[in-house]
Amino acid sequence: MNLEYIEDLIDREKINLVDTYLENSAGAYVNYNKLNIIIYDNSKLNSSTKKKETLAEELRSLLLSELLINLILVPN
């Protein structure tokens, strides 16, 4: 999986991607009132591999939380 594919997936899922300073982390996700954001600090990502790992990890966390919410809230 390459970086362009991950960024395309983030775009298709309508997730905002924000590069900003983070104090103690290279990345984080925010899910608030159906607003999905992945925040990352590009200054802490030394290579495209590290950026890919960080974005993939945050995307996985975000999508899993969405899946769990839908499983809990949607009756069978």
Answer whether 58's CB lies under 8 Å from 25's CB.
no
The model's pTM is 0.78
pLDDT in tens, 53-68: 999 999 998 888 888 8
Question: What pLDDT is stored for residue 56 in this prediction?
Answer: 92
Distances (CA, A) of 63 to 6, 13, 60: 13, 9, 5
**DSSP for residue 42:** G
Supply the range of the domain harboring residue 57: 3-73
Residue 75 has pLDDT above 80, yes or no: no
Could you count the other beta carbons within 10 Å of the beta carbon of residue 15? 21
pLDDT in tens, 15-74: 999 999 999 999 999 888 888 899 999 999 888 899 999 999 999 988 888 888 788 877
Question: Within its chain, how far is the Cα of 58 from the centroid?
Answer: 4
Number of domains in the chain: 1
